[in-house]
A and B are shown apart, each in its own frame.
Chain A
Amino acid sequence: MAAEQGIDPIHQFRIEPIIPIHIGGLDLSFTNSSLFMVIVLGLACALMILGTSGNALVPGKIQSAAEMSYEFVGNMIKQTAGTEGMRFFPFVFALFMFVIFSNIVGLVPYSFAVTSQIVVTFALAILVIAVVIIYGVMRHGTHFLKLFVPSGVSPLLLPFIVLIEVISFVARPISLSVRLFANMLAGHITLKVFGAFVASLLGAGAFAVIAPLPLAMTVILTGFELLVAVLQAYVFAILTCVYLNDAIHPGH
């Protein structure tokens, strides 16, 4: 029975209501996903509040972590979107902290990876694209549509190029959300499968001798997943900056 449970690698992504709330036919239950979103928010807020409350000239550990995350995101925005992009700092920083904390918290055994749900990552990606479109139209008006019309293209090819540009713009939220979701989903499934191998091999008589092999693989994969967790948060944030740069300078 225990082995059978271990072999079901999808079970970890099941959404289970903790406090059922139904309003007018809508299921608004407080689920395990919601619980971990609250935990992630709490951890990110705790880092920044504790990190900025000391105000030491020579920072301690938490203050260093808070300042490093600030500088990291700040530099990232300045490099990709210029100093003008710094007005989006709160937005990008909040996104980055949410994604990186949910990725890392999701790696803790028995926890729930919020970013392994396509609904969550797609909502974040749509939010980014909505900010890009709304800010671009607010700031540049119809000039924002120049984003889809590259300069120096012959009039004969222009309709095709515009269509291709529109398709590639529409593809952005999809690639942004699928990348994060697929990385987290695949990583968690792989970890679970290798963990299940250990359990099955231990229960398979003489084959228990090779059980340490998948165990070692699980250890390696955990380190690898830690890298992926940080990297995907970075990629999500830097692509947000690149897209925001389009909203700031659509003519490029």
Chain B
Amino acid sequence: MIDGVTLPEIANAHSQYAKALTSRYFIRNAPLWPNLDTRAPRLYKPAQSGDVEALALSAPRESDLAEQPNQDDDAALHARLARLSTSLDAQDQASSDKAKTDLGNNTLGGAMSLGFRVLTEFVAGIVVGALIGWQLDVWLKTSPILLIVFLTLGTAAGFWNVYRIAVKPTGRGPL
């Protein structure tokens, strides 16, 4: 007995906690690797204490059990699950934030790729405009009016591309 909680109850909470961990892990990854389902039994073997430690996730704290000695195990478990969910979400958020800055615009690589992107988008707009105008001139025998018109439009498209990159470097929807 520790603060009114029996040892089997603690053990039960531990195993449910471990199950919750693994099932959460499984659910997070399941839609992404559906064909790994068959390997689930091997992937998600019953959690041993070593595994949980290796995941660097905390076991139920003594204080949690001590705080509400008379309440249901369920309530304590829910509280722990909620805490776990928050920490997992925070972890996800942190990792996605990290991914954002890893190759973002703050590094030399990011700046370089952005610069080269601007260059190619600009040149590609002009080249495509010139090619369309030139080909239309050949077909309609209006040389060189359409070449000039489409070269101008292509330059505008090049500037427009650059403007869009400047407004939203890699964010959602360049339009």
Establish whether residues A235 and B124, one from each chain, have CB atoms under 8 Å apart when the complex forms. Answer: no
Contact with B along A73-110 (1 / 0, CB 8 A): 01110111110001001000000000000000000000
Q: How far is the CA of A74 from the CA of B31 in the complex (A)?
A: 12
A70 surroundings in chain B (CB, below 8 A): 32
Smallest Cβ distance from A83 to chain B, in angstroms? 10
Identity of the chain B residue whose Cβ is nearest the Cβ of A70 in the assembled complex = B32
B125 surroundings in chain A (CB, below 8 A): 167-168, 171
Identity of the chain A residue whose Cβ is nearest the Cβ of B116 in the assembled complex = A179
A178 surroundings in chain B (CB, below 8 A): 120, 123-124
Contact with B along A209-252 (1 / 0, CB 8 A): 00000000000000000011011101100110010011001001
- A167/B100 contact (C-beta < 8 A), A179-B116, A227-B109 known: no
Contact for A79 among B39, B100, B175, CB less than 8 A: B100
Does B8 make an interface contact (CB < 8 A)?
Answer: no
Establish whether residues B174 and A246, one from each chain, have CB atoms under 8 Å apart when the complex forms. Answer: yes
Establish whether residues A242 and B170, one from each chain, have CB atoms under 8 Å apart when the complex forms. Answer: yes
Establish whether residues A182 and B120, one from each chain, have CB atoms under 8 Å apart when the complex forms. Answer: yes
**Secondary structure of the B side of the interface?**
helix
Smallest Cβ distance from A163 to chain B, in angstroms? 5
Kindly identify, within residues 108 to 123 of chain B, every residue whose CB is under 8 Å from any CB belonging to chain A. Answer: 108-109, 112-113, 116-117, 120-121, 123
Q: How far is the CA of A230 from the CA of B102 in the complex (A)?
A: 12
**Secondary structure of the A side of the interface?**
helix
Does B127 make an interface contact (CB < 8 A)?
Answer: yes
A76 surroundings in chain B (CB, below 8 A): 99
Does A170 make an interface contact (CB < 8 A)?
Answer: yes
Most chain A beta-carbon contacts within 10 A, residue among B42, B54, B154: B154
Most chain B beta-carbon contacts within 10 A, residue among A57, A81, A171: A171
| Number of B positions contacting A (CB below 8 A) | 44
Establish whether residues A80 and B171, one from each chain, have CB atoms under 8 Å apart when the complex forms. Answer: yes
Establish whether residues B175 and A252, one from each chain, have CB atoms under 8 Å apart when the complex forms. Answer: yes
Establish whether residues A246 and B124, one from each chain, have CB atoms under 8 Å apart when the complex forms. Answer: no
A57 surroundings in chain B (CB, below 8 A): 43, 45, 51, 54-55
- A175/B124 contact (C-beta < 8 A), A55-B43, A86-B32, A246-B175 known: yes
For chain A, give the interface size range: 35 or more
Does A174 make an interface contact (CB < 8 A)?
Answer: yes
- A147/B175 contact (C-beta < 8 A), A58-B54, A75-B96, A160-B153 known: yes
Contact for B95 among A75, A164, A228, CB less than 8 A: A75
Establish whether residues A72 and B99, one from each chain, have CB atoms under 8 Å apart when the complex forms. Answer: yes
Kindly identify, within residues 39 to 90 of chain A, every residue whose CB is under 8 Å from any CB belonging to chain B. Answer: 52, 55, 57-58, 70-72, 74-76, 78-82, 86, 89
Contact for A175 among B36, B96, B108, B120, CB less than 8 A: B120
B150 surroundings in chain A (CB, below 8 A): 167
Identity of the chain B residue whose Cβ is nearest the Cβ of A147 in the assembled complex = B175
Q: Which of B61-69, B82-90, B137-145, B155-163 binds A?
A: B155-163
Does B128 make an interface contact (CB < 8 A)?
Answer: yes
Does A150 make an interface contact (CB < 8 A)?
Answer: yes
Identity of the chain A residue whose Cβ is nearest the Cβ of B149 in the assembled complex = A163
Does A34 make an interface contact (CB < 8 A)?
Answer: no
Could you jot down 27 A-B contacts, CB within 8 Å?
A: A55-B42, A71-B95, A74-B32, A75-B95, A76-B99, A79-B96, A80-B170, A147-B175, A163-B153, A167-B125, A167-B128, A167-B150, A167-B153, A167-B157, A168-B160, A171-B121, A171-B124, A171-B154, A175-B117, A178-B120, A182-B120, A227-B108, A227-B109, A231-B109, A235-B113, A239-B117, A249-B173
Known: A174-B127, A231-B109. 13 other contacts (CB 8 A): A71-B95, A71-B99, A75-B96, A150-B175, A160-B156, A168-B161, A171-B154, A178-B120, A179-B117, A227-B109, A235-B113, A245-B172, A252-B172
Interface residues of B (CB under 8 A from A): 31-32, 36, 39, 42-43, 45, 51, 54-55, 95-96, 99-100, 103, 108-109, 112-113, 116-117, 120-121, 123-125, 127-129, 132, 150, 153-154, 156-158, 160-161, 170-175
